[in-house]
């Protein structure tokens, strides 16, 4: 930053905190900093940032009685305003509220290019910087852009939980704790389980097993999803090759988009000896993020006699036209439609429509969340091809399956 802005950096804040007796801060966080950096480029972004910081600095001067307010730059998206002990709490809150009203939405000198800020105020806490970050984190999903920290703010449990999940993921990666579980898929015509869906699980140091709902979002957030996927796909192919079993494998748009993952996958396909059926399941709401990329991927894997399934079909019911572009071999009906089908007439009508669509596309139907004989009775009546759920099989590791 240019020196004329007269704004100190965070190291100076640390040195000045005890000297000036700061007991209150307001943290200003640019929400869309990364987006602006990508769109504008580094030079233009910092030019705009300098302009904004200068305006904030000038705005503060009219309220800076007895030099009680001091701004500091934390990083390329964060500014803090520190207040001395001599400034009354109510005065500081009044100033920061006005600061928020003026600067939470800043129109830059380009059309349709705003800078968006969130504000966290902390008063009389030991580690005020930590408290401000915790307040912004705890309130991230509540649509609040001006937050006053309170000691009972619900942040510690969330942060500890996320750290625990990260530790569990890395322990699993490093200690052979990424494990495929398999759930049987019942063939309603043959009246037996003749294929399995492979489902990722991770094991912690105490032997506890976790499903993706516990760890998957964190894995994606911290860029370890591909590591998990590569381990998973290698183990599935190894176990399937050894037993010549038919298996269905979940792939996300992250997998299909990752050259690192695809390199591993196609190497496995090239060296495959078994003629067992392999199905790749794509979640329906992810299919349409990049339809061209998906079609190219399907074209490549079809060379290896791979079948394609659309998973969770019906959750994004408006994408029927694009589903027909893909020409899936299997359509797996979303659980929200099927789990109450024995109680909900509307859901039965939706299921019938999906079955008819699948027939017109020459695709098999698979219905998940089958956990009682009533649901299965309707599926047999409607001529659903395959049923999957706890009524037939719970997910188990390979060594516990009755093959």
Q: Please report, for the chain, the start and end positions of each structural domain, with discontinuous segments joined by +.
A: 3-153, 160-400
Q: What is the pLDDT of residue 330?
A: 96
> Residue 4 — very low, low, confident or very high, per pLDDT cuts 50/70/90?
very low
Q: So what's the pLDDT on residue 64?
A: 66
The residues, any chain, with a CB within 8 Å of residue 139's CB and separated by 6 or more, are 147, 153
Instruction: Fold for 3-153, please state it.
Output: Alpha-Beta Plaits (3.30.70)
The average confidence (pLDDT) of the chain is 88
Tokens 């894997």 belong to 301
Q: Which long-range contacts (CB under 8 A, 24 or more apart) does 158-162 make?
A: 159/134, 162/218
> If you write DSSP's letter for every residue of 127-177 in order, what string do you get?
SHHHHHHHHHHHTTTTT-SEEE--TT-TTHHHHHHHHHHHHHHHHHHHTT-
Q: What pLDDT is stored for residue 19 in this prediction?
A: 85
From residue 344, alpha-carbon distances to 12, 124, 161, 193, 198 in Å are: 65, 56, 37, 27, 30
Q: Are 162 and 156 in contact (CB under 8 A)?
A: no
Task: Write the pLDDT tens digit of every residue in 265-319.
Answer: 999 999 998 888 999 999 765 555 678 888 999 999 999 999 999 988 877 544 6
Report the pLDDT value the prediction gives residue 153, as an integer from 0 to 100.
58
Contact 37, 45 (CB under 8 A): yes
Whether the predicted pLDDT of 80 surpasses 70: yes
pLDDT value, residue 3: 41
* pTM for the predicted model, two decimal places: 0.70
d(CA 197, CA 281): 9
User: Cβ distance 9 to 57 under 8 Å?
Assistant: no
Residue 112 has pLDDT above 70, yes or no: no
| Superfamily covering domain 160-400 | EAL domain (3.20.20.450)
Map residue 317 onto helix, strand or coil. Answer: helix
Tokens of 247: 């298996």
Question: Which tens digit of pLDDT belongs to each residue from 343-369?
Answer: 889 999 999 999 999 999 999 999 999
Ranked by mean pLDDT, the top range of 11-20, 66-75, 157-166, 265-274 is: 265-274
User: CA-to-CA distance for 291 and 307, rounded, in angstroms?
Assistant: 17
Confidence of residue 151 (pLDDT cuts 50, 70, 90): low
Which of 248-262, 336-350, 356-370 has the weakest average pLDDT? 336-350
Give the helix ranges, DSSP H, for 21-77. 33-40, 42-61
């Amino acid at each position: 930053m240019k020196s004329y802005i007269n704004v100190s950096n965070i190291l100076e804040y640390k040195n000045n905190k005890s000297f000036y007796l700061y007991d209150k801060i307001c943290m200003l966080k640019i929400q869309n900093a990364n987006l602006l950096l990508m769109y504008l480029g580094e030079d233009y972004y910092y030019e705009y940032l300098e302009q904004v910081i200068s305006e904030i600095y000038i705005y503060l001067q009219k309220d800076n009685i007895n030099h009680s307010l001091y701004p500091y730059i934390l990083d390329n998206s964060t500014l803090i305003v520190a207040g001395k002990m001599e400034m009354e709490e109510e005065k500081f809150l009044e100033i920061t509220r006005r600061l928020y009203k003026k600067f939470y939405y800043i129109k830059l000198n380009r059309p349709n290019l705003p800078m968006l800020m969130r504000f966290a105020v902390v008063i009389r806490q030991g580690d005020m910087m930590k408290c401000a970050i915790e307040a912004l984190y705890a309130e991230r999903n509540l649509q609040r852009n001006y937050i006053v920290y309170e000691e009972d703010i619900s942040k510690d449990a969330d942060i500890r939980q996320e750290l625990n999940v990260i530790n569990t993921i890395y322990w699993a990666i490093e200690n052979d704790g990424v494990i495929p579980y398999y759930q049987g898929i019942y063939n309603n015509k043959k009246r037996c389980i003749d294929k399995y869906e492979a489902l990722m699980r991770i094991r912690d140091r105490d032997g506890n097993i976790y499903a993706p709902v516990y760890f998957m979002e964190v894995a994606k957030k911290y860029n370890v999803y591909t590591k998990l996927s590569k381990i998973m796909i290698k183990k599935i192919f190894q176990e399937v090759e050894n037993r010549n079993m038919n298996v269905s494998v979940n792939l996300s748009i992250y997998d299909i988009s990752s050259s690192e993952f695809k390199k591993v996958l196609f190497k496995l396909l090239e060296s495959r000896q078994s003629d067992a059926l392999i199905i790749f399941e794509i979640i329906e709401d992810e299919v349409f993020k990049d339809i061209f990329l998906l079609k190219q991927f399907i074209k490549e894997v079809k060379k290896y006699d791979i079948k394609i399934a659309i998973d969770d079909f019906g959750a994004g019911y408006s994408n029927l036209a694009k589903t027909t572009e893909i020409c899936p071999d299997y359509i797996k009906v979303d659980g929200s439609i099927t789990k109450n089908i024995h109680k909900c007439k509307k859901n039965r009508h939706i299921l019938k429509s999906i079955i008819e669509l699948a027939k017109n596309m020459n695709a098999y139907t698979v219905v998940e969340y089958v956990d009682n004989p009533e649901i299965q009775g309707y599926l047999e009546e409607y001529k659903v091809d395959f049923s999957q759920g706890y009524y037939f099989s719970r997910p188990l590791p390979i060594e516990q399956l009755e093959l």
